[in-house]
């Protein structure tokens, strides 16, 4: 289907570093060996929730990590090699170009890969709001960074992620999305404190299976897990 010359439904572009380098700031909280497993779990929950959103037509993951690519492709994502290999924003621009090489009229959105609490309904509310503007973005929970940037059909994505990207996206002319009740779309995870906040919101099953255990394999029941044999309290369903 098409509306006003554009394909209906958003194409999401999700960037993911090689797992050996992903989420480096989590090492202090999780241990260096455990960190790549959490990074993959975050990405799996993010992509699964995005694909479950009625407003999302497809998801392209830009990554060169073979394990992550295999697991994410199994969920239904398209894997796009990071041919530029020049960092986050180059990867996102490349992913948007790859989407529009197949569907020139696509509306595209860049979405962080570290949103383990993401709810499809909340993502849908953000995308509905974004559809009112040529370019729009959603700030992270700290109001410093960006978790999502959108570009309407025929509009360049022009990503400026990294560090204080909220200010850069504002300066670029993108409109800030201020819709309420979308905490799961703003809650990216870079630190142990971020992870605890995501768990409090309720995370997807891949993260829930990983987060309740310390690097030594012992259950961290006092922090994020329930009693032995019980589902972690942070588990949530994708449809919620």
Confidence of residue 146 (pLDDT cuts 50, 70, 90): very high
**Quick check: 144 pLDDT over 80?**
yes
β-bridge pairing 135-139 and 175-176: parallel
Pick from 84, 83, 107: nearest CA to 96: 107
Give the CA angle between residues 170, 175, 176 to the nearest 5°. 80
Q: Are 112 and 46 in contact (CB under 8 A)?
A: yes
pTM for the predicted model, two decimal places: 0.88
Q: Does the structure show a pLDDT above 90 at 237?
A: no
Burial track 27-61 (b if 16+ CB lie within 10 A, e otherwise)? eebbeeebbbbbbbbbbbbbbbbbbbbebbbbbbb
pLDDT at 30: 79
Take residue 125 and report the two structure tokens written for it.
């509310």
98, 63 Cβ separation under 8 angstroms = no
Residue 67 has pLDDT above 80, yes or no: yes
Is the pLDDT at 213 greater than 70? The verdict is: no
In angstroms, the CA 87 to CA 213 distance is 31
Structure tokens at 97: 């170009």
Share of the chain above pLDDT 70, in %: 85
Kindly state the tokens that stand for 112: 């962080």
Q: Provide the pLDDT for residue 90.
A: 98
Q: How far is CA 156 from CA 151, 152, 172, in A?
A: 6, 8, 12
Query: What pLDDT, on a 0 to 100 scale, did the predictor assign at position 21?
Result: 92
Q: What is the pLDDT of residue 236?
A: 59
Residue 87 has pLDDT above 80, yes or no: yes
């Amino acid at each position: 289907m098409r509306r006003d010359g554009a394909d209906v439904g958003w194409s999401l572009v999700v960037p993911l570093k090689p797992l050996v380098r992903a989420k480096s700031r989590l090492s202090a909280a999780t241990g260096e060996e455990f960190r790549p497993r959490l990074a993959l779990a975050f990405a799996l929950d993010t992509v699964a929730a995005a694909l479950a959103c009625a407003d999302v037509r497809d998801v392209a993951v830009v990554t060169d990590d073979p394990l992550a690519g295999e697991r994410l492709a199994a969920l239904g994502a398209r894997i796009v090699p990071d041919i530029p290999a020049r960092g986050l924003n180059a990867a996102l621009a490349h992913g948007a170009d790859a989407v529009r090489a197949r569907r020139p009229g696509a509306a595209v959105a860049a979405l962080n890969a570290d949103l383990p609490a993401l709810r499809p309904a909340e993502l849908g509310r953000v995308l509905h709001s974004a559809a009112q503007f040529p370019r729009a973005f959603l700030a992270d929970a700290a109001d410093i960074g960006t978790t999502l940037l959108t570009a309407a059909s025929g509009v360049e994505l022009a990503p400026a992620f990294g560090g204080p990207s909220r200010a850069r996206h504002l300066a670029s002319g993108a409109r800030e999305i201020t819709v309420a009740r979308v905490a799961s779309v703003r809650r990216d995870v870079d630190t142990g404190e971020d992870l605890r906040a995501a768990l409090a919101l309720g995370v997807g099953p891949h993260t829930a299976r990983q987060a309740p255990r310390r690097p030594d394999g012992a259950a961290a029941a006092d922090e994020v897990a329930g009693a032995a044999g019980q589902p972690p309290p942070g588990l949530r369903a994708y449809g919620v």
